[in-house]
Structure formats: structure tokens, C-alpha cells
Structure 1
Amino acid sequence: MVPESGPQTPPLPASVPGDARPDAPALAPRGPHAVGVHTLSLVNPGQPDVTRPAPDGTLARTDRRLTVEVWYPTPGESGSGAMVYQDVIPSTPPVPYRVPGRATRDAPVKPEGPYPLVIVSHGYPGSRYFLSNLTENLASKGYVVAAIDHTGSTFGDMGHFAVTLLNRPTDILFTLAELDRLGAAGGDSPLSGAVDASRTAVVGYSMGGYGALNAAGAGFGPEVRPLVPGGALAGREAGAIRPDPRIHAVVALAPWGSGAAVKAARIPVGGAFGFWDAAGLAGLRVPTLFIAGEHDDVSGFEGGVKALFEHAVNAERSLLVYRGARHNIAGNPAPAIPGPISAEDFLRYAEPVWDTARLHNLNQHFITAFLGLHLKGQQDAAPYLQVPTPVASDASPDAPWPGFPARTAVGIELHHLNAGQMAGPGAGETLS
């Protein structure tokens, strides 16, 4: 007898992006919760359309549609559930591929909330699934995690760069407002009662890091305004931003927009800090974790991410450095597809010298400690951000880093600066 066709539950995957290696640091493995996942279709009405400037320079207005994937704690055993996320490689034409996960589609929210909110913003191009190695992990630890497909900036619909420059921070802030609304108690949303948006963090990779820093208060310099038609970026400049008080922390993974980055991209923006000047960086006042490769050739390191870390003087901030790494320190591994994958496409996902699974585990460990401290007030997370002096992990073989198995704290550096502290003598001191 032939069984009736219908929805099929994917088989439990043997491995998924983000699984903990045997040598993973203490906070990398999944937390105690099973994970549910739900897709939201959001509409931000009346947004400026930079693709249709009028002869007089004014911009038409249009509804901006966003797809947002939301992960959250659900009843069940940690690591249970089977999920297949559909994504594409941005070739011509795009090549579809599948990403396995450990989550359950549209499962009920575990009634222990509300949970702090983490908003995730991908690179250019990217997708809401590109960081599923992190989004599932954080949801298992008691967060609602909302990853945005930034329309016009995804693997499947990458468009004019001005669309990304304008909409990254506003997409983040709109998504925050919508998750606050949909997650409030007493509503009819599947997320009702699940979201504590008063405790929000923004995690951004590459162009997502650019958007995250601006959404949290780092205003753009006035030189950036001509890059987007109609003066549409003016409201995101230093002095014009009113930081959203719900945002309490930022994780900026290889954030784009520094002086080194715009120079490499031949974008005509002056100033030592590229898209930001000193006044703009001074607007960042929430704790920030910068994560970067030592040889980042997209966002830059010296004069790039490191310069942003050093000059965001009003924020308590840390800088995690992967020695020998380039730009691709966050995303899922290169997909398995029929036929060969080009080197260009492969290097959208892979690092030349670092194992991707190892990078996932390091990101999970430090981001878990950082968000636990700054969103949940978990003081027992602080020691994982306090490392022996000197800051290079393999320079202190007799003083292993907290949470790292013996012989594994190598190839990484961790720097810290308090709010009000400039770079210089003692800039590598640890938290006190």
C-alpha cells in the first residue's frame, strides 16, 4: 500500500552548523532548551526608495517588505528537532542549497519567558539563515533570536549598494519595534508573551555590523550623505540619532565601514574612520563586542575594525581577534551542492586557514558570555571575558583562559577598554 503524501518531518541530522567540537570552550555547546522557529513577514510602510530618485532629487516612498526568521525556546529536549533551511549561492543563476538545523517549525514557545531579544543582521549579500550556527545556539540558551532577510541585500536579490547603506539600521530598528509589539503579553501572535524587548542586543556581521553600530547610536559622518540619493542618510548622522533605550549590547563581527574598508572599496568618504567620525563613534554608549580576523581584507583590521574598537570611547568594549583569519569568521560553512563550487563562491563561506566549526564554537562561547553578562546580568559569565595577561592566548601557556580545555586557547587575542578609556599604554588590559 502506498502511503498518502503529506508534510514530512526531516530525519534527525547527524551534524549541523554550530555543533560543538570535542575541544569547544565551555559556553559553546547548546543550552538547556529545545528550539522552535517561526517565519514573520513584516511590512515597513512608506520607506524612501533610493532606486527611484526624481529629477529634483526627491525620493518616492514605498512599503518595505522584510522576511524575519525567529528562533526561540520550546518544550522538549535540548538539541531535538530537525529542520532544513533553504538558501542559495549568489551565482548566475543562483544555486539553491539546504542547511540542516536542530529546530522545530512553528513549535509553541516555552512558557518560561519573556526572553531577551537578539536581532541578527547578515552581510552583503547574505541571508537570515547564514548565521544559523549562532541563532539556534542562542535560542537554546533562553533568547528570542530574530534574523532579518534585508530585502535588496540577500544572496537571492542583491541590488544597488545604496539600498543596503540606507536600510540596514532602519530594518534593525523596525524589526525591534515589531518584535516588541508581537511579543508583548496578551496578543494573538504566536510569540505573544515571549519577548522582553527592553533587553535587546544586536548582532551584525560585515554590513550587518555597520547597521548594528549605527542602530545602537554610532552616527555617520556628513561625508557619507552623498552616497545615498535624496539625503536619505541625514537622519542617521551624528547628532541626529536618538539611541533606542531597548538596545543594551552590540556584537559587531567584522563590521564594515571603517576608513580601511571604504578606501579598499574606493568609496569617496574622507576621515580616519570612514563612515564614522569621532563625534559619530562617541554616540556608541552600550557595551560592544568587536570580533575580527587579524588579516581582514574586506573590513580591514589595523585602521579598520581595530580602529573602531579603539575610538568608540564612550562604550565599554572588547575586541576578540582571530590571528591569521580574514573576513569570513561568522557564517555557515560552504554548502554541499551538485557540481563544483567556484573559489569565489567558496570563499564567501570559508576561511583560508581556520576551521569553520572552530570559529563557530569560539563565537558561541564569547557571545554567550557577553550577552549573559549584559542582557541577563549573569555575573558568573564575567570570568570568561577576563583573560590572563598578555592578551594573546598562546603567549600564556601556564595561565589557560577560563573555560578552555588544556592546549586549546591558541590563535586568539582578547582586548578590553572601559568607557572613557582611550587606546594606548595598557590598552590590552583585561577587565577589572
Structure 2
Amino acid sequence: MKHMLLSLASVTALASPAGAENPIDRIRPDAPALSAYGTHPVGVVTRSFTDVGRAAVITAQDVEGELPRSDRTLTTEIWYPAAGGTTPGTTYETVLRDGETPVSLSGRASRDAAPASGSFPLVLISHGYPGNRFLMSHLGENLASKGYVAVSTDHPDSTYQDMALFASTLVNRPLDQAFLFDALSEMEGEIGAIIDAENAGLVGYSMGGYGALIFGGAGLSDTAVTREEPAAYVAPRDLLDQHAAGSDSHAGLIDPRVKAVIAIGPWGRNRDFWDAEGLAGFEKPLLLVAGDQDDVSGYEHIREIFEETTGTDRYLLSFAGANHNAAAPMPAPDNSWEVSEALGGPPFNHYADAVWDTTRMNNVLQHFSTAWFDQHLKGEENAGRFFDLVETAEDGVWSMTDAGEPSEEHTYWTGFPERTAKGLRLEFRSAE
């Protein structure tokens, strides 16, 4: 037993830098099976990609005449499978929700490590409003360890440090996602050489989910593109029109390389940005994730998205009692517990949930994301068993034979240890 404890301690020491704080890479002992890190060491690099001459939404509201344009630069974190022998452990320097308080995060990735040999599907991770590229870094590292190139960007006008006109996010979010897929598919160098952009996925949280649904095929409603109030939802120069259902511009946005989407707490149906007709145009395999107490995007409206995306097979994973922070944000950093003068309170509530442990939710998301992308991007049909579940987790029956094999009565959620599938519901609707 002593030797076993020493061995486990050594593994833990390798997993995170000595003395590091705010780990994003914790896997609970009771986590579902696919939460665990994979066999690949993880590398990480930071790159910037510039879309030249994008319509300048903010400036467009103040000037007349020709539509103003400007270069839009996306600072991006790229996690990828690293070469064997790569030493794990890095620190990410960023800021809290208040946009000014520095914070250090620790993870398993190795900065600027040499990539592994091979070709790996691409997964883009898109944060909320506000957010930044580190908000779901736990998922980026985790997926990279399992053979994906996972990419998360700072969306301008939507980050903690540059929050600006909301209409800019409404217009630009799906355009950012489309641009990044193109930029990464053309990326040169060692990292670019391992990206399989022909088999790509998208994870969007809140406003990232809004963008993912538009980019994936759900065109905006007439209400969204013609409304005059509230002003925050109105884009200047009718720039939202390009995302309208049935428009040529929206049809041209949809990328056949994107094979599957995960939308976590997607915002928009609660403000009639879609209707049933527009949502029916979404045709990619869709996994929706939400807390059933979400009062930002509105759980009842997320359920509308679930019911109205009739053009595809889709699932809805619900966390009972959880609010808008279900699954996506990393655990609240230590200094987010302290009062921020800029916010008039602690940033803690931006990351945490009142009911669920964040690491637990992260692990559940890592589990289902792995199964989802293994199935749809890697073609691993066996991964579908992790979605072939009784609808309500508590209804599953744990029953094993004397040999430790599942008996005929066993209906417990696949991959979940005994007594751990609690507070979750997974619903399915098939395409019509």
C-alpha cells in the first residue's frame, strides 16, 4: 500500500506544476469513465488570426456613408496531442470576470511542445458574453489528450477586458467561428500539419451557443432582423440580415466540414432570435447541455430549441437544479471569492453554481463531449453506447453478476460508477 501511495503521489506531481494554483485539470475519483485524460501528452500554443476588412459593427452606428471596415484579430489558444515524452504542466496567465484582476491557472499542457505525429480532428470552443479563451480550458486540454486539436479564442468585444456593444457579438460570433475554421484549415507549420479540418466539431457556451446554432444552420427569425427595440439587440446597417433564415449569406456560412455541435446553455430563443422554421434548418448532430434552472437563456427556451431543431437527431443533457453556469465554466479561481471593486462583489458567481460542484459538471461534460466527438468525428460507432441510456439517471438500475459483469437487469448509465448517476437527464429526439 505504501508503494501504491507513493506512485499515485508521483503521478499527481507530474500532472500539475509544483505549487500551482487554480487547477483546471482535476478529475474526481467518481467521474464518469470518459472524463479521464487520454493517452496523449498535451501541447499548447497561442496564435493570432486576423480577418482583414470585417464590417466594423461598433463604428457603423456612428458614421454615415460607406460601411466602415476594420481588421479583426482573434487571439487563440490551441491545445493538441504532443510528442511522446513531453513533460506535462503549464500555467495560464489571464484575468477574472472583472477584466482587471490577474489570475494564474494550472493545467497539464506543455507550452510550445512538439506535436505528435498524425492527423487529428479539429474542435472549436467558443465562450460566452463575457468570457475569454480560458473559460473552458478544462475541455480544451482534455480533448487534446484524446486525439483532438482543440481551439479556443478571445472573441473581440465579448471578453472580460473589452466588453462592448452587444450587437457586435450578435453579428460577429458566427462569423468568428467560420473564419477560425478557415484559418485553422490553412494554418502552416508543425501544428497546422496535424489538423484534420475536414472532420471538425464546435462547442459553444451561451453566446458561443448562439453563434454555433447560426453557423450550424439555424437562420435568424424575421423578428430578430427587423426589431427596433430593445436597442441592444439591434445591429446597425441591418448587419444581422446576413444571418437571416433563407438568405444566401446564411446558407453560405454553413460549413460541411463541421460534423457535430455541442451547444451549452445557448442564448437566443428566449429573445425570439429563432423561430421553429429557422431552427428546423439546423441539420448537424446536436447535443444540447443545460441547467434546468437556467434563468439567463431560459431553460424552457432551450427546450424549445431541442424540440424545434427537427432537421437533425439531437440530445438534451440536463443538470437538475443547475443554473446558466452548468458544465461549461472552469472551477472558480481562488481569488474570485474576493470582492472586486469593479464588480461590486466577488466574481465567483460567474464561474460557480449554487447547487453543483463545478469540477463534477466539468467531468460530466468531458465524458459526453468525448463520446460525442469520438462518434461523429472519428467514426467510433461504439461511442454511441454512452448515449443509449434510460432518460432519467436515477431510474437506472445497478445490477452485477458474481463475476462483476452487468446482469440483464442492469440499466445504469454507461460509464458512470455505482451511485454516481444522479441529478442528470438525457433526452433524445430524432430528425423528422
TM-score bracket relative to the smaller structure: 0.7 to 0.9
Secondary structure at the aligned position of 2:37 is classed as coil
Cα distance in structure 1, aligned partners of 2:337 and 2:431 = 51
> Who is 1:108 aligned against?
114
The 3 A distance-change label for structure 1 pair 338 and 203 is closer
Query: Would the alpha carbon gap of residues 339 and 367 (structure 1) be closer, same or farther in structure 2, given more than 3 Å must change?
Result: closer
Distance, in Å, in 2 between the alignment partners of 1:341 and 1:400 is 43
Does residue 311 of structure 2 align to residue 314 of structure 1? Answer: yes
2:186 pairs with one of 181, 198, 208: 181
Conserved 8 A contact 2:22-2:104:
no
Whole-Å separation in 2 of the counterparts to 1:192 and 1:312: 34
CA displacement at 1:217 relative to structure 2 = 1.0
Find the counterpart in structure 2 of residue 94 from structure 1: 100
Taking structure 1 as the reference length, the TM-score comes to 0.86
1:22-101 matched pairs, under 5 angstroms: 22-53=29-60, 54-56=62-64, 59-76=67-84, 80-91=87-98, 94-101=100-107
**Secondary structure class of the residue paired with 1:401:** coil
In structure 2, how many angstroms separate the alpha carbons of the residues matched to 1:325 and 1:172? 27
Q: Identify unmatched segments of 5+ residues in structure 1.
A: 1-8, 263-273, 421-432
How far is 1:418 from its partner?
1.1
Alpha-carbon offset, residue 397 of structure 1: 3.6
- Percent pairwise identity: 43
Equivalences for 1:333-348 in 2 at 5 Å? 333-337=331-335, 340-341=338-339, 345-348=347-350
Shift of 1:280: 1.3
Distance 1:51 1:298 in 2: 24
Shift of 1:339: 7.8
2:286 paired with 1:280: no
Query: For 2:347, what is the secondary structure of its paired residue?
Result: helix
State how far apart, in whole Å, the 1-side matches of 2:35 and 2:149 are.
18
Task: Using the TM superposition, give the Cα deviation of residue 305 of structure 1 relative to its aligned residue in structure 2, in angstroms.
Answer: 0.9
Judged with a 3 Å threshold, the aligned counterparts in structure 2 of structure 1 residues 159 and 88 are, in CA distance, closer, same or farther, namely same
Structure 2: how far apart are the matches of 1:339 and 1:369?
33
What secondary structure, in the 3-state scheme, does the structure 2 residue paired with 1:290 have?
strand
Describe the shift of the 1:339–1:135 C-alpha distance in structure 2 as closer, same or farther (beyond 3 A): closer
Say whether 1:211 aligns with 2:218. Answer: no
Structure 1 equivalent of residue 241 of structure 2: 234
Normalising by structure 2, what TM-score? 0.86
SS of residue paired to 1:59: coil
* Structure 1 residue 321 displacement after superposition: 0.3
Task: Tell me the residue number matched to 1:324.
Answer: 321
Secondary structure of the residue aligned to 1:283 is coil
User: Partner residue of 2:260?
Assistant: 249
Q: After superposition, give the CA deviation of every residue in 1:367-400 in whole Å (9 maximum; x if it has no partner).
A: 1111110111111111111102xx1111234421
**Structure 2 Cα separation of the partners of residues 368 and 161 of structure 1:** 32
Structure with bigger helix share is 2
- Which residue identity is paired with 1:394? E
Q: Secondary structure at the match of 2:190?
A: coil
Aligned length: 388
Residue pair 1:57, 1:229 contacting (<8 A) in 2 also: no
CA distance in 1, matches of 2:21, 2:335: 18
**Taking structure 1 as reference, are residues 84 and 167 closer, same or farther at Cα in structure 2, changes over 3 Å only?**
same
CA drift at 1:51? 1.2
